[in-house]
Structure 1
Amino acid sequence: MEVRYPAVAGSFYPSGDALIEMLEEFLGDLGEEGSDRRITAGVAPHAGYIFSGYTASRTYKTIFEDGLPETFVLLGPNHTGLGSPIAVYPSGKWRTPLGDVDVDSEMARAIAKLSGIADLDEIAHKYEHSIEVQLPFIQYLAEKAGREVKIVPIALGIQDEEVSEDLGKAILEASKELGRDVLVIASTDFMHYGAMYGYVPFRARADELPHRIKEWDFRIIRRILDFDVGGMFRELREMGHTMCGPGGVGTAVVYSRLAGALEAELLHYTTSYEVSRSTDAIVGYASIVFKR
């Protein structure tokens, strides 16, 4: 069976016991696993855990306390440019320092079949970190629940409204066709500011920068909370915003809307500045869930 080995263990997140210790610190306030299953989708960041791990943990804590699904459909941007533009990982296992998690191959094939744009492709995922960094949270919580969950990783090299509508519908139709209880995770970071990203859209005093970046991010977040995919992409274009995973977020919104979600909640927001205290480069991070 094909195994996708970790590409960023020991860099974006720790290996070995240090990973468990970090997850326990992030999730020290974790409650009991719930059974409501009102949550249809979540948004979580994918930077190094030292910067965005706590924010990501808020998404997973809330999901756990609502109830884990059978299958997580994980959408992340393709930073490497390898492989298919819309790449659904077909089958096998993904490995992290916490062990292996199975790919839901039936669900993967159904999404690719029902989508007008997606391909079954492993290459796009080989070195990509945006989905990998989500897995230790999922594995940790599955262990807490005493059961296994599966994943369907989807890497997006093209991100627009058309992709969001296509994939959101395909995921819903596939879940119905297979009778599968699924939850969508959109892996994204928000504003990327600074010369190292080749992006300085405005000038501000160093002490004003984090506030300005938060303002820009919240223009996008408000659209997400309103389930407004078109408005989100319009704001991104008008602002020249550098959110890296809008296609996954758009897919999560479309899927949630079709699955009967009625509300969205911002759980946590922060920036890398809170840790680095550097204004040379700042990235925004948000944790969001959508509920029926």
Structure 2
Amino acid sequence: MALTRRASHSGSWYTKNGSELSKQLEGWLNAADLSHGPARAIIAPHAGYSYCGSCAGFAYRQISPAVVRKIFILGPSHHVRLSGCALSSASTYQTPLYDLHIDQQVCKELEETGHFEWMDMSTDEDEHSIEMHLPFIAKVMESFKDSFTIIPILVGSLSPEREAMYGRILAPYMADPQNLFIISSDFCHWGQRFRYTYYDRTCGAIHRSIQNLDKMGMDIIETQNPATFTEYLKKYGNTICGRHPIGVLLQAIQSVKSNTNGQRMNLKFLKYAQSSQCNNMNDSSVSYASASLVLE
């Protein structure tokens, strides 16, 4: 039976009016330069569009829609405890622009590895980390809307060993130039409400300390070294909510490199933003960053 996942966060996290949404997305995409494409993978935020839409535009601008046939979306699980990864039981995801179709064949292949479970519909619809990317995907791909499928993957709290395993499973898909990977992550969640108040006073204002901390993480991600990223997270505890999807990406990159005699890849951050500037210990903010991976 075909199941449709409704756009459950439209109307609150972004507008449900299709033409208004299309205009907004176009504005953000047009404001960004195509400077690091065609992207084989991107990292982009998943907050309400009023906070992170313009930042996300920089990642989505790097996509070359004419070549893309399958889009893997890896989002962290915010509401359910998962020790592995889960696939969507839906066949279609609704967006205010048009519906996106899930690749049943790829889902079957992933299930057959024995390392994926299935999300039920309420888990799927509660989770925003994947949904917030769907309108951007629909907009970027609108001239090719009948020629691509999506593979949504909900990523749980993975050990480094499990990140490596999922990286190996996904590497053959990443090696295919017709596939695109979207990694859903916000960066530092700072403030007492997030129970995270790391502050390096040598940086000056709190928001500068946060930016410095995020930049350190972004620089490490650009080196594509999963072990160094794990060490960084252990040392600073930075509340990067998509750290496990990012870990899987870095492991998949390592795997592709080792299977292709050192295929050169360049991962670059293009934009950074904060929801607000923290100046005292009662403030809070969430950081956003957009990156693109290209093969050289």
Query: Taking structure 2 as the reference length, what is the TM-score of the superposition?
Result: 0.86
Give 5+ residue unaligned stretches, structure 1: none
Q: 1:73 to 1:92 in 2, by over 3 A?
A: same
| CA deviation map 1:69-122 (0-9, x unaligned) | 2111111111111677421124500011112100011111212323x5321333
Q: Across the two proteins, how many residue pairs are aligned to each other? A: 284
Corresponding residue number in structure 1 for 2:127? 128
Question: Residue by residue, what CA displacement relative to the aligned partner does 1:189-223 show, whole Å, maximum 9, x if unpaired?
Answer: 01000122122223769971221101111111111
> SS of 1:27's equivalent?
helix
- From 269, 272, 279, the equivalent of 1:269 is 272
How much does 1:175 deviate? Answer: 6.7
Alpha carbon RMSD of aligned pairs, Å? 2.9
Equivalence map 1:87-166=2 (5 Å): 87-114=86-113, 117-123=115-121, 124-145=123-144, 147-166=146-165
Q: Is the 8 A contact 2:40 2:177 kept in 1?
A: no
> How far apart, CA to CA, are the structure 1 residues paired with 2:174 and 2:190?
38
Query: CA separation in 2, counterparts of 1:24 and 1:223?
Result: 31
SS in structure 1 opposite 2:181?
strand
Change (3 A) 1:250 1:175: closer
Matched, 1:218 2:221: no
Corresponding position: 1:285 with 2:283: no
Partner of 1:18 in structure 2? 20
Structure 2 residue runs of 5 or longer lacking an equivalent are 257-262
Deviations 1:151-183 (A, max 9, x none): 11111221332232122211234577xx78311
1:255 aligns with 2:252: yes
**Greater displacement, 159-168 / 55-64:** 159-168
The equivalent residue for 1:63 is 63
Residue from 237, 240, 245 that aligns with 1:243: 240
Distance across 2 between alignment mates of 1:261 and 1:188: 24
- Map of 2:7 onto structure 1: 6
Q: Is the 8 A contact 1:6 1:96 kept in 2?
A: yes
Match of 1:52 in 2: 52
Residue among 181, 185, 188 paired with 1:184 = 181
The 1:277–1:209 alpha-carbon spacing in structure 2 relative to 1, beyond 3 Å, is closer
State the match for 1:79 in structure 2. 78
Q: CA deviation at 1:3?
A: 0.4
* Higher alpha-carbon deviation: 144-153 or 182-191: 144-153
Query: In 2, distance between residues paired with 1:8 and 1:211?
Result: 31
- Counterpart CA distance in 2 for 1:205 and 1:13 is 38
- CA distance in structure 1 between the aligned counterparts of 2:213 and 2:82, rounded to whole angstroms: 32
- Counterpart CA distance in 1 for 2:12 and 2:223 is 35
**TM-score normalised by the chain length of structure 1:** 0.87
Deviates more, 1:91-100 or 1:257-266: 257-266
Q: Equivalent residue for 2:259? A: none
Measured in 1, the distance between the counterparts of 2:38 and 2:284 equals 37
Given that 1:84 and 1:121 are in contact with CA atoms closer than 8 Å, whether structure 2 keeps it comes out as no
AA aligned to 1:199 is: Y
SS of the residue 1:270 aligns to: strand
Aligned to 1:199: 196
Distance (whole Å) between structure 1 residues aligned to residue 20 and residue 237 of structure 2: 38
Structure-2 change in CA distance of 1:147 and 1:3 (3 Å): closer
Looking at structure 1, the residues matched to 154 and 200 of structure 2 have their Cα atoms a distance apart, in angstroms, of 33
Partner amino acid, structure 2, of 1:120:
W
Distance (whole Å) between structure 2 residues aligned to residue 86 and residue 249 of structure 1: 13
- Aligned counterparts of 2:70 and 2:149: Cα–Cα separation in 1: 5
Note if contact 2:38-2:63 (Cα within 8 Å) is conserved in structure 1.
no
Structure 1 residues 54 and 244, CA gap change in structure 2 (3 angstroms): same
1:28 Cα deviation after fit? 2.1
Q: How far apart in 1 are the matches of 2:83 and 2:231? A: 25
Residue 12 of structure 1 and its aligned partner are, at CA, apart by 1.4
User: Per the alignment, do residues 112 and 126 of structure 1 end up closer, same or farther by CA in structure 2, a change over 3 Å counting?
Assistant: same
